[in-house]
Amino acid sequence: MISTVYAVLFYLATILLVVGVGMRVWKYATTPVPLNIVVSPAPRTKRGVVFRMFREVIFFESLFKSNKWIWIFAYLFHWGMLIVLLRHLRYFTLNTWWWVEIISPIGRLMAFAMLAGLLGLWARRVLQERIRYISNPSDHLMLALLVGIAASGALMSYVTHTDIIMVKAYMLGLLRFRIGDMPTDPILMVHLGLVALLMIIFPISKLLHVPGVFFAPSRTLVDNAREKRRVSKWARNLPPLPEGIPANEEA
């Protein structure tokens, strides 16, 4: 019975996540960007922009330049989570890939990196007057949710173990549209319940910074405002441009 409830929950959460994020991405991709509003100093070529985005996503470059404390905590949390998630692949593939085996022991420890990062980011929202003032309930709830997921995971990993073979069989079943039995210990149920909640709220939350960063005109545009005039699609039928000024077809 509980296994079926969780199965339905996960199918629903997956549909909402995929469709929801897809709709958001579509909206971002079709929103006109009539002006070149890139933050300078910015690259002057496309290749330069790719390199800039790489540094932004891998190193959080702009955050590093603006605030070292937030950078440390955000970096611990995000990279900790990435390695934890890669380790989780072992519940979703029949034969665990060799590199997942290798990172697995580190992934287990990364629960603490995640928690340290999240608690640091949270402390800042609570203790720093100026940041507390601009924090919404959703900012706190998001951090609480992720702390809940990481803490319940770490509890299972280090304190009250669950039957991970059974978890794996259940997850592999779900991927093949077969609903088996999952272990029913409370910590696992909390862990999975919170994960489903995270998936459901993803498309309507600040977690949209994940696809969003790739559509941020202030970072993704080429600094060529002097060489090229940007004309949005909707403005193409306006009176013609003065001679000698080329239209930028990408706008």
Which residue in 42, 49, 113, 195 binds ligand HEM (CB under 6 A)?
195
Tell the residue number behind the tokens 């559509």, with chain if given: 215
The answer to whether residues 200 and 33 touch, using CB atoms and an 8 Å cutoff, is no
Count of CB atoms situated within 10 Å of the CB of 146:
21
Which residue in 7, 49, 76, 81 binds ligand HEM (CB under 6 A)?
81
Smallest gap, in angstroms, from Cβ of residue 121 to ligand HEM?
A: 4
Structure tokens at 43: 């690259």
Q: Which is nearer to ligand HEM, 140 or 229 (CB)?
A: 140
The answer to whether residue 74 forms part of the interface with ligand HEM (CB under 6 A) is yes
The residues pairing with 247 across neighbouring beta strands, listed in sequence order, are 229
The helix (run of H) or strand (run of E) holding residue 230 is strand 229-230
Query: Which range of residues in 18-26, 31-39, 85-93, 225-233 is near ligand HEM by CB under 6 A?
Result: 85-93
Smallest gap, in angstroms, from Cβ of residue 80 to ligand HEM?
A: 8
Per-residue b/e over 44-62, b at no fewer than 16 CB within 10 Å?
eeeeebeebbeebeeebbe
The answer to whether residue 156 forms part of the interface with ligand HEM (CB under 6 A) is yes
Which residue in 18, 29, 102, 213 binds ligand HEM (CB under 6 A)?
213
Which residue in 24, 108, 228, 229 binds ligand HEM (CB under 6 A)?
108
Count of CB atoms situated within 10 Å of the CB of 129:
6
Smallest gap, in angstroms, from Cβ of residue 235 to ligand HEM?
A: 32
The answer to whether residue 200 forms part of the interface with ligand HEM (CB under 6 A) is no
Smallest gap, in angstroms, from Cβ of residue 242 to ligand HEM?
A: 41
The answer to whether residue 42 forms part of the interface with ligand HEM (CB under 6 A) is no
Supply the DSSP string of 150-215, one letter for each residue: HHHHHHHHHTS---HHHHHHHHHHHHTT--------HHHHHHHHHHHHHHHHGGGSGGGHHHHGGG
Q: Which is nearer to ligand HEM, 71 or 228 (CB)?
A: 71
* Separation CA 92–CA 103 (nearest Å): 16
The answer to whether residue 89 forms part of the interface with ligand HEM (CB under 6 A) is no
Binding residues for ligand HEM, total number by CB under 6 A: 38
Tell the residue number behind the tokens 């979703």, with chain if given: 92
Which residue in 7, 113, 149, 221 binds ligand HEM (CB under 6 A)?
149
The answer to whether residues 213 and 56 touch, using CB atoms and an 8 Å cutoff, is yes
Residues at the contact surface with ligand HEM, assessed by CB under 6 A: 57, 60, 63, 70, 74, 78, 81, 84, 87-88, 91, 107-108, 111, 114, 121, 139, 142-143, 146, 149-150, 153-154, 156-157, 161-162, 164, 167, 171, 191-192, 195, 207, 209-210, 213
